[in-house]
Amino acid sequence: MTLVRDRLFIGGRWVAPAGKGYIEVMDPSTGTVHARIPEGTPADAEAAIAAARAAFDAWSRTPVAERVGYIERIAAGMTARSDEFAQAIACEVGMPIRLAARVQVGGPLWHWHHHAELAREFEWERRIGNSLVVREAIGVVAAITPWNFPLNQITLKVAPALLAGCTVVLKPSEVAPINAFILAEIIEAAELPAGVFNLVTGYGPVVGEVLASDPRVDMVSFTGSTRAGRRVAELAAPTVKKVALELGGKSAAVVLDDADLAAAVKGTVSSCLLNSGQTCSAHTRLLVPRARLDEAAQLAAAAVSAMKLGPALAEDSRLGPLVSAAQRERVRDYIRRGVAEGARLACGGAEPPAGLGDGYFVQPTVLVCEDSGATVAQEEIFGPVLVVLPHDGDEDAIRIANDSLYGLGGGVWSGSEERALAVARRIRTGQVDINGAAWNPRAPFGGYKQSGLGRENGTYGLDEFLEYKSIQLRQVG
């Protein structure tokens, strides 16, 4: 049965869209229509901006404790509907259901609860000499979010923006929007004041461009491709609004000659293949000592081959499909190009995997590539493809890791934490994992170079939605 959502959430009400168009949301495991949503128009975006603008003054002056209360009610509502979120995301993104419940839903739930805790320890104002320095909401925020981790990226924008006192217009990806409708229902049930949160669906070149360019919007927070991020920044520039961008990556896992190679390869494969490789910070380049290149390729092929590829709702699936037919063909084209440019297939390939019907599946693939300047070693593939590259020592490994337009994630593997840390400090990227260290959701997430501007997570993410104001006080005597 096709799920139909035919209303937008604007000004505290579910309203009919201005146009009659709709967008089909596909189930990537089957290649069939999963849902239909409104194809929003510029008029819908403008109505949502007007509602957010009208609500801003009162919401920004609402005491922090009251704002925290709303955040806690939203978190409770999300917890109650967590299974529904997991089902929706599995069916629109393709991540296997058990993993979706833990990663795609569990992570966002943690962040909503954590943002409520943040407010109690956050320094909202501070006395410096004769100045009172206060933190104030930046204003109306346009949140434009991607399809690969849809609820998580919505959360990392909406939760801190609301806590900061901003009002929000959310445009989720039209590829994976149903989770956003569920969240809007939860926000409505939490009785957030009208206009504080608004949901408009549609295409980026239509709805997104209005949000990025409208002078009534004070900030755009965007997650997506580097190409689209450049366009957002271009549209925002004439009104000098703040822009936060979380963009692409081509992260390198650097394996030094004293590392446990088997552990390094296993950890890198897990990072690379998370969400079928559709993760901006995935470690998609594995840099190993030249003498151990073949051994590393064999270990990687064995680790990849052990992961069962299957439909998202199958309990035993470890890897799901790619999100769309277009993404499937894009990734297959990269595999073909890699081989054409001289890379060697250790496993996988561009041929369709057997027995998986009409879904958007790609074989998880390991390419061994001698040339660090090759296309597959430079461009973001965004699929289940690991590129194994040789290096000739620490200096060469650092050079190769930094030879990229991007700087989002990375890893260093070594038998010496001191040596690994020395290398990590020289890699131009926003986060580096040493020997597979655990992800820290309180630490800042964001990139160098063309991986973006600004940071998400914890207090660092809250900072993005606040302005400093200095109030000079007259000193007596």
246 among known catalytic residues: yes
- Binned at pLDDT 50, 70 and 90, residue 476 comes out as confident
Residue 420: other Cβ atoms inside 10 A: 23
The model's pTM is 0.96
Domain segments of the chain as ranges: 3-247+451-471, 251-442
Q: List the structure tokens of 134.
A: 């206060």
pLDDT at 393 over 70: yes
Q: Considering the domain 251-442 in this protein, what is its CATH number?
A: 3.40.309.10
How does DSSP classify residue 21? -
pLDDT, average across residues 191-206:
98
- Alpha carbons 209 and 21: distance in angstroms, whole number: 18
Q: Tell me: the pLDDT tens digits for 153-165?
A: 999 999 999 999 9
pLDDT tens digits, one per residue of 72-87? 999 999 999 999 999 9
DSSP state of 38: E
Q: pLDDT tens for residues 9-36? A: 999 999 999 999 999 999 999 999 999 9
Tokens of 424: 């990590």
Residue 195: pLDDT band (50, 70, 90) is very high
pLDDT tens-digit series, residues 291-322? 999 999 999 999 999 999 999 999 999 999 99
Let me know: does 280 contact 445? Beta carbons within 8 Å: no
Nearby residues of 142 by Cβ (< 8 Å), 6 or more positions away? 49, 168, 169, 171, 211, 212, 214, 217, 219, 220, 221
Specify the pLDDT at position 350.
Answer: 97
Average pLDDT over residues 148-174: 98
Tens of pLDDT, residues 29-50:
999 999 999 999 999 999 999 9
Give tens-digit pLDDT for 426-470. Answer: 999 999 999 999 999 999 999 999 999 999 999 999 999 999 999
Q: Which residues of 189-250 form beta strands (DSSP E)?
A: 197-199, 219-223, 242-246
Rg of the chain on CA atoms, in Å: 23
Q: pLDDT tens digit string along 262-276?
A: 999 999 999 999 999
pLDDT range class, residue 357, cuts 50, 70, 90: confident
Residue type, 170: L
pLDDT band at 477 (very low <50, low <70, confident <90, very high): low
The model's pLDDT over 394-419, given as tens digits with 9 standing for 90+, comes to: 999 999 999 999 999 999 999 999 99
Nearest to 154 by CA among 175, 174, 188, 183: 183
The catalytically annotated residue of 174, 246, 380, 464 is 246
Question: Average pLDDT over the chain, rounded to whole?
Answer: 97
Query: Residue 447 corresponds to which tokens in the numbers above?
Result: 């990139």
Whether residue 425 is predicted with pLDDT greater than 80 in this model: the reply is yes
Instruction: Transcribe 233-274 into DSSP letters.
Output: HHHHGGGT-EEEEE----EEEEE-TTS-HHHHHHHHHHHHHG
Write out pLDDT tens, residues 102-119: 999 999 999 999 999 998
**What share of the chain has pLDDT > 70, as a percent?**
100
C-alpha to C-alpha distance for 268 and 285, rounded to whole angstroms: 9
Known catalytic membership, residue 24: no
Token representation of residue 186: 């939860």
What pLDDT does 475 receive?
83
CA distance 285 to 255: 11
With respect to CATH, is domain 3-247+451-471 assigned 3.40.605.10? Answer: yes
- Examine the pLDDT at 120 and tell me if it is beyond 90: no
Local confidence band at 1 (pLDDT 50, 70, 90 cut-offs): confident
How confident is the model at residue 285, as a pLDDT?
98
Of 280, 347, 456, 464, the active-site residue reads 280
Any residues with CB less than 8 A from the CB of 232 and at least 6 apart, and which?
Answer: 144, 208, 212, 220, 222, 243, 245
What pLDDT is stored for residue 237 in this prediction? 98
Q: What is the pLDDT of residue 119?
A: 87
Task: Flag whether pLDDT at 290 surpasses 70.
Answer: yes
Q: What is the mean pLDDT of residues 340-349?
A: 98
pLDDT > 90: percent of the chain = 98
